[in-house]
Amino acid sequence: MIITAVERKPKRRGRVDVYVDGAPAFDVARSIATSHGLRPGMPIAREQIDAMVAADVRRQALDVAAAMLARRPHSEREVRLRLKQRKFEPALVDETVRKLVSAKLLDDAEFARSWTESRDRTSPRGQRLIVQELRANGVEAGVAQEAASAVSDEDAAYRLASRRLRSLERLEHDAFRNRLGAYLQRRGFGWDICRATVARCWRELGRDAAEEEAVGL
């Protein structure tokens, strides 16, 4: 078999079509074609074609994963899911993940730390909910718990509640307590933290402390 043409692939930047014996045979990344010295008139065997195509598919899988990780950290489960969605073979998915882990580009512990920091900065929530979210992303329980432990539930609950005070400040005490307390519970905070945070916010509004005591807040 003889290569008869190597042409840029239309609308696929960085890829080339390779013609063998006058007919389209395969396409690969231009970098692979260059590294193998593909050119018209060059003899090529089926084994060489298969090896180049396999190398190209491996490169594509790495490119997909690298593009994900360039935007933000991801868990191993997220990367596996994306590669599966892109129809890569299970064995190649495993190989790609191993390479990324070995290169320290994929690290569930780092993902968990980054996730926790982002949540605490932009949308505070309790340790319990953070652990649930990390577990849903495939992070092992111990790793998830260690990352979430960096969050102070007391501090996070207060910061979150402070953002709601303007919309709640005109409510009577019972309605204030119920609405703010339920909101904090939905965000993963335990009852003791919710109770203390509601009391703190009520006092900071300058409302009647006697009312607070009367209802047993």
Model pLDDT, residue 215: 44
Model pLDDT, residue 171: 86
Q: pLDDT by residue (tens digit) across 14-33? A: 899 989 998 999 989 989 99
Q: pLDDT by residue (tens digit) across 151-161? A: 999 999 999 99
Lowest mean pLDDT among 1-5, 25-29, 207-211: 207-211
Model pLDDT, residue 166: 86
Q: Which H or E run contains 18?
A: strand 15-20
> 0.85 exceeded by the pTM?
no
Taking residues 37-56, what's their average pLDDT? 92
Residue 217: pLDDT over 50: no
Residue 213: pLDDT over 80: no
CA angle, 97 as apex, 93 and 100 as ends, to 5°? 140
Q: What are the residues whose beta carbons fall under 8 Å from the beta carbon of 166, sequence distance 6 or more? A: none
Q: pLDDT by residue (tens digit) across 71-125? A: 999 999 999 999 999 999 999 999 999 999 999 999 999 999 999 999 999 999 9
Residue type, 184: L
Q: Which H or E run contains 214?
A: helix 209-214
